[in-house]
Each structure stands twice: as C-alpha cells, then as structure tokens.
Amino acid sequence: MSRFLLALMLSATTALRVVTRRTLTPRRAAMTMKEGATTVVVTGASRGIGAAIAKDLGAQGCNVVVNYAASEGPALEVVEAIKASGGDAIAIKANMAELDDIKAMFKQVASEFGGCDVLVNNAGITKDGLAMRMKPTQWQDVIDVNLSGVFYCSQQAFNQMAKKRKGRIINMSSVVGLFGNPGQANYASAKGGVCGLTMSNAKEFAARGVTVNAVCPGFIGTEMANELGEDMLEKVKSAIPLGRLGAAEEVAGLVRYLALDESAGYITGHSLTIDGGIAIGAGF
C-alpha cells in the first residue's frame, strides 16, 4: 500500500488479539444461493480488491452493484465480466464521502433489486503524511471516505436488511487499523474506527439477523504494490512469514465466505486478518 506500510511490516511482531464476542442465534437460516439471487453492494469496485470481490460474488450468481466514484470505464468492464460469468450487475456512481450520493445509491438498489442483502464496504483512499505535517484536508478526506462512508452505507443498508430480517455487512479495514503505522495517522484512525464500528453495529444489528464483520488485509499485490519496484518488493516479502504478497482474489475468497457461506451466519463482530502472517511477525 505504501512505503509506510512496509515500515509497519518490518517492525510488526505482536500477535493479533482476537476478542471473541457472544453472537445471537439468527432468527432465520443463513442465506443460500438456492433462495434466489443475493443482491450485493460493493463500494469502490472499479479496480483492485473491490473489483475482485465484485467479480467473485458475481460468479456465484449474485446481483452485484459495482460502485465507483470516478472510474466509470473500469466499473463498466467489471459489470460486463460479471454478466459474462453468470451474475447480473449494474454500475452506480456515488462518492462515499457524500451522504446524498449514498442515499441515492441505496434508493436505486431498492428500486432495481428490492433491497440490499450483502454490503461490502470496500472503498478506501490514502493521503499519507507525517502527523505533525498532516493538513486538515488530508485528515478529513480519509476519514470521510474510509470511516464515515462505511457508517452511512451501513445505516442505509441496515434499513433495507432489517425489513428482510437478514443480511451481511463486511467492512474492509487493514492491519494498519490494528497496529498503526507511521505516516498514516488518518488511515490508521479510520481503519481502527472501522473495527470498532464493526463491533458496535454487530451488537445493534444482530436482533434483526444481520451480521457485521471486518476484513483486515496486509500487503496485497495491487498496482500500487508494483509501483514499489522489485527491490522494495523483495524486502516486503521477507517481512511476511508466507514470503509473498497477497492477491486481491484471496481477499475476495474470504469476503465470499463471510458474505454467502451458511456457517458464516454465526460469525459477527470480528476483524479477520488476511496478511500472510504479518500479524504474528516474521520470526527469526
């Protein structure tokens, strides 16, 4: 994700504390594809991890809303790929930093698909800089998209899921939200906030059969990673116990489990890392 994340990985040695939360028995059986097409909203799905999630869930036969803010062409390509694999999809332009955009998107989801069954809050940005030099806009822009956007989307989605008395919300956090990272005070605060929001919403939404979990990726081999160059990538890999970067498709596989698998209907309030072992450190 950035040179700052590299610094985190090289120094991370603390195991993750995974807090087990009491979950409530769902009032209905977990969703299965046999009950009909599940409608999934994936924010920030025009590229990277979001595009991989959208395509993966589309290939499972879901109706997928491919959200984007600026990249219309790539979003439409994701829509076409989903249709070619057996799912259905539409692209909706909506800025996750704008509440009016978010409300309009969910209104369209209700009218076109009858409401949202699964929400994947994936959209995210970075505006890195040392804390003492961070400009107010750098701070606020990242909080607005990465944290406030997750809150408002969850609010809108829950409104639709509560009526169905079922639903699943998956929030894209980061290992940076668990450990912090120099140069990413804004990003770490937002991603850590997402983990707290995940637990609070899990407790509030459980009574309506809605689960809420977060996924915390480590270093995923996106276009951004390639920009680091070969030498830097080798150093990154040496700090990862599994010795390689993750793939967006691997994150998508975890999201697919949380979104669709029947047994995941009994998992709520957790932040699950998918990081090649960064959380446990590189060892000696």
Among 9, 42, 48, 185, binds ligand NAP (CB under 6 A): 48
Cα separation of 166 and 262, whole Å?
A: 12
Residue 63 contacts residue 38 (beta carbons within 8 Å)? yes
Tokens at 222, concatenated: 């996106």
- How many C-beta atoms lie closer than 10 Å to residue 65's C-beta? 27
CB atoms within 10 A of CB 73: 9
Task: Characterize the bridge pairing of strands 63-68 and 88-93.
Answer: parallel
Of 158, 164, 190, the residue nearest 176 (C-alpha): 190
Smallest distance from ligand NAP to CB 284, Å: 25
**All residues at 6 or more sequence positions from 107 whose CB lies less than 8 Å from its CB, including other chains:** none
187 is in an annotated binding site: yes
Cβ proximity to ligand NAP: between 45 and 116 the closer is: 45
In the window 245-274, what residues touch ligand NAP (CB under 6 A)?
Answer: none
- Nearest alpha carbon to residue 37 among 111, 120, 105, 114: 114
Q: Is 192 annotated as a binding residue?
A: no
Residue window 108-127: x/- pattern of binding to ligand NAP, with contact defined by CB under 6 A: --------------xxxx--
Give the x/- contact pattern for ligand NAP in 167-186, rule: CB under 6 A.
-----x-x------------
Give the active site residue among 68, 152, 187, 257.
187
CB of 19 to ligand NAP, least distance (A): 20
* Candidate segments 40-48, 83-91, 104-112, 255-263, binder of ligand NAP by CB under 6 A: 40-48
Tell me whether residue 160 or residue 222 sits nearer to ligand NAP (CB atom). Answer: 222
| # residues contacting ligand NAP (CB under 6 A) | 28
Least Cβ distance, residue 67 to ligand NAP (angstroms): 6
Whether the Cβ atoms of residue 274 and residue 250 lie closer than 8 Å to each other: yes
78 binds ligand NAP (CB under 6 A): no
State yes or no: residue 79 binds ligand NAP (CB under 6 A): no
Left (φ > 0), alpha (ψ -120 to 50) or beta: where does 243 sit? left
| Cβ atoms 213, 171 nearer than 8 A | yes
257 is catalytic: no
Residue 213's SS3 state is strand
Q: Does 160 bind ligand NAP (CB under 6 A)?
A: no
The site for ligand NAP (CB under 6 A) is made up of: 1, 43-50, 67-71, 95-97, 122-125, 145, 172, 174, 217, 219-220, 222
Active-site residue set: 187
